[in-house]
Structure 1
Amino acid sequence: MTQRVVVLGAGFGGLEATSLLSEEFGDELDVVLIDKTAGFVFGFSKLDVMFGRSIPEQVFHPYANIVKPGVRFVQAEITAIDAAAKRVETTVGAFEADFLVIALGADYDVARTQGLAEAGHEFYSEAGAFALPDTLAAFEGGDVVIGITAGPFKCPPAPSETALMLDAMLRQRGIRDSSTITLVMPFPRPIPPSPDASAALLATFEERGITWHPDTGVRSLDAAARVARLGDGSTLPFDLYLGVPVHRVPAVVEASGLTVDGWIPVDPRTLETSWPDVYAVGDCASVGTPRAGVFAERQGATAARRIAARVRGESGDALYDGRGVCYVEFGGEEIGRVEVAFFEGRPHGSMEGPSLELAAEKREFGASRIKRWFGREWTPALAE
């Protein structure tokens, strides 16, 4: 009888896990990939749309286009997860599995930050980022605050990228001198595990007149006074507020009793949960690495390799290495490359660039994933 792997969530982790299992087994394994959305969008593509480099249709990759041996995509809302039984309830029926991979990411709790919905703009969701081009185009100058409420949050470099891309946009439009940009982050430096990358960003902030406000988060927005109230008791005036909301696991994960301290606990090297043959990868899991796609991708691959060994009746020895590489926009056409490692002693990282050459490497990163996961050619937007 054909064994079944059910993968919940079609982000970096889910897409990589299903791709690897298809390569290993083809039609000999039944792989079901379930996601409530119709397609995939890179995190960096949201910024491309937000700053007018692309339009949503150019960065959207429909899951219906996935044609891989042994893999079928189901678009449905997941309503319950029974980890002990490896059974999943959805809006289109129930699915039972021999192996279960939970890769449902993190949701955004906008309501947790008073005033964010009324006075600010969140830019981390697709809907939020895709709604911002007209807002940014209409901005005539003033005080901009880019604020993080609290950690952990997805893609730690993204708020810094947003500040630098906004700086470039305002300079291009000739209104930078009549504007301020302040970045508020609850970390002592922009990319904590990489002193080199953080130093490069802080030097660029100083060069471009971007104010860095570390070690505190935004607690609330006062819509009437147009000020952001910070955790350290200070306030910042704003004409435009771009916010990163509080992150949390999807409600169905919490309701299913899978979490401890808000996230799914796993063995950080194997991604196994406390339930046999149930794995959790990516942003919903408590792994000890940043919540970013490049880490979820390697976690998904590790889980898939361990499942592949179990299907063959072998003892799996694949281990997650806690490493990741990400690309950081510095505005204009320059890209930095950050490589970090978390399981090799104290977390540490290195920085290369920024440079024009690394922009091509970043485009290849995106193009290669779409080729692997969706089987088609695609080129990310170029910086202008």
Structure 2
Amino acid sequence: MKSRVLILGAGFGGLELATLLSEALGEGADVTVVDRRDSFVFGYSRIDVMFGKTTLDDVSLPYAAFEKPGIRLVKETITAIDATAKRVTTDGGTYEADFLVIALGADYDMAATPGLVEHGNEFYSDAGADRLRDVFPGFNSGPVIVGICGFPYKCPPGPSECALTLHHYLTERGIRKDCDITFVSPLSSPMPASAEMAQALMESFEEFGIRLLKQRTVIRLEPGLAVLDDGTELPFALFLGVPKHQPPQVVIDSGLTEDGWVPIDLSTLETRFPGVYAIGDMAATGLPKSGTFAESAAHCVSTSILAKLRGSNAQLNTGQGTCIVEYGDGRVSYAQLDFLTGPKLEAIYHPPSIAGKRFKQGFDETRRSRWFNL
């Protein structure tokens, strides 16, 4: 028996869920994926874009290449979500579903940090990373701030990755001695989920002369000046910011959010509306907002949907994922995390190495092949 599944968003979670349902049901699947974009970009690719190692075009994977039995991916903009009726309106029409999965990720609230747009740069969006690709070559001296403007945010070690890569970039250009780097974070450590990764990052910061200001948030930018939530004022010649995150406005308008995010049953990812799930960055899981955690959530939701269709057993959310840190000098470190399958968090840390770079490349290649047949 076919049952209509509607997936909003074609990111890590949406692509993996659609793939899993196609593998299980084949042409018997009736799955529609809605996304307003033309292509998919791995978030970790932006670090290479911003530092001129590649271009946005080169890392963009067209959704036209996502072809799976029983799956239809449409490019439309979502204008309304009715979770009670499991009905979604887009600029192309109206969709009704038996199962609705919202996987729209998190958007950026630039206005939440006054002066960010006028006086700073953000590196978490595709456009922001692409813009910095042109900014960096013209920067030659002065203090640089890598600053986080709100919590939670995607990819907890991402700003550390930026600071480390910036150090090596400036060193290669021969101007590191003329540039101070300060990293401002609201967290108590660069990577709370892995004490070993956090310690290694802090040791690298000390080795490379990167100043770390913990448990502080950038709340405002003025010309050449960043103001923190404790009143500290830091001068800068270049500001690289992580904007405040929030769910997409259409999700907020739907009434699905509470305290800023979409509440779910952590073990099943189901919202308070039966048959409506939320996975990925906009869900209030308390876990890192990262693509691999959206993938593990997709595995959970796929088994839940299949259980209701076939009477099989659903699997609980494992809360498993991997956080990868690019050091900018050819080395990569990563931590494999397991939040929910045991009595406590399990973290396996792999120090920065060339082997870590190969792991990252394999991670990328596996998903390119699985989702886009590349």
Give distance in 1, aligned partners of 2:74 and 2:27.
Answer: 17
- Partner SS, residue 196 of structure 2: helix
- Partner SS, residue 281 of structure 2: helix
- Partner SS, residue 152 of structure 2: coil
Paired position in structure 1 for 2:126: 126
Residue 105 of structure 1 deviates from its aligned partner by: 0.5
Paired position in structure 2 for 1:352: 350
- Partner SS, residue 285 of structure 1: coil
Paired position in structure 2 for 1:57: 57
Taking only the aligned residue pairs, the percentage that are identical comes to 48
Paired position in structure 2 for 1:292: 290
**Residues 22-77 of structure 1 deviation map (CA, whole Å, 9 limit, x = unaligned):** 00001101110000111100011111111111111110001111111000111011
Match of 1:308 among 306, 309, 322: 306
Quick check: 2:266–2:317 contact (8 Å CA) kept in 1? yes
Give distance in 1, aligned partners of 2:6 and 2:358.
Answer: 35
Paired position in structure 1 for 2:274: 276
Gaps of 5+ in 2: none
Paired position in structure 1 for 2:260: 262
Larger mean CA deviation between 28-37 and 321-330 belongs to 321-330
Question: Over the residues paired in the alignment, what is the CA RMSD in angstroms?
Answer: 1.0
**Residues 184-227 of structure 1 deviation map (CA, whole Å, 9 limit, x = unaligned):** 0001100011110000000000000000000010010112xx11
Give distance in 1, aligned partners of 2:286 and 2:242.
Answer: 21
Residue 350 of structure 1 deviates from its aligned partner by: 3.2
Residue 315 of structure 1 deviates from its aligned partner by: 5.0
Paired position in structure 1 for 2:75: 75
Question: Is 2:249 the partner of 1:251?
Answer: yes
- Partner SS, residue 131 of structure 1: helix
- Partner SS, residue 219 of structure 1: strand
Paired position in structure 2 for 1:136: 136
Quick check: 1:307–1:316 contact (8 Å CA) kept in 2? no
Paired position in structure 1 for 2:212: 212
Match of 1:327 among 324, 327, 335: 324
Match of 1:362 among 350, 357, 360: 360
Paired position in structure 1 for 2:27: 27
Residue 119 of structure 1 deviates from its aligned partner by: 0.3
Runs of 4+ in 1 over 4 A off after TM superposition: none
Change (3 A) 1:62 1:292: same
- Partner SS, residue 264 of structure 1: coil
Question: Is 2:193 the partner of 1:196?
Answer: no
Match of 2:227 among 229, 250, 259: 229
Residue 116 of structure 1 deviates from its aligned partner by: 0.3
Residue 94 of structure 1 deviates from its aligned partner by: 0.3
Change (3 A) 1:47 1:178: same
How many residue pairs get aligned? The number is 373
Gaps of 5+ in 1: 377-384
Residue 358 of structure 1 deviates from its aligned partner by: 1.2
Residue 351 of structure 1 deviates from its aligned partner by: 1.6
**Residues 159-201 of structure 1 deviation map (CA, whole Å, 9 limit, x = unaligned):** 0000000001000000000000100000110001111000000
Amino acid corresponding to residue 251 of structure 2 in structure 1: V
Give distance in 1, aligned partners of 2:200 and 2:32.
Answer: 43
Give distance in 1, aligned partners of 2:233 and 2:345.
Answer: 33
- Partner SS, residue 175 of structure 2: coil
